[in-house]
Amino acid sequence: MFDFFKAKPKNYEDIPVGEFHNLMLQPNTVILDVRTPGEFAGGKIRGARNIDLMSRDFTKQIQNLPKDKTYLVYCRSGNRSGQACEIMADMGFENCKNMSGGIMRWPFETV
């Protein structure tokens, strides 16, 4: 049985799409799409960089990113991006934000 009191506290923040959209306009912000290249090609948020969570070298690609930026992370539903934020936080990234509900909830423009 799952014990809520023993659950590891989240070291990233889940944010709604509106807040995600507002933060995109801030300097020092990186938008990460952790979906597959195929999903990414089917429509993405403008300016997003694709690093597939399911790829073998995900952590290797993440390691090379500067840790002093704010990372806005999204996927299709918010599940993979949450996992990606957790991995990144474990690697020392202090400012990761997961888009709640993923791109399925995104009412703004995609490219």
| pLDDT per residue of the chain (111 residues) written in tens, 0 to 9 | 555 565 667 889 999 999 999 999 999 999 999 999 999 999 999 999 999 999 999 999 999 999 999 999 999 999 999 999 999 999 999 999 999 999 999 999 999
**Positive or negative CA dihedral for 5, 7, 11, 12?**
negative
CATH code of domain 13-27+55-105: 3.40.250.10
Residue boundaries of the structural domains of the chain = 13-27+55-105
Q: How far apart are CA 93 and CA 53, in angstroms?
A: 16
Residue 40 sits at φ, ψ, to 5 deg, of -60, -45
pLDDT tens for each residue of 87-107: 999 999 999 999 999 999 999
Alpha helices in 30-107 (DSSP H): 37-41, 58-63, 79-90
Catalytic residues: 75
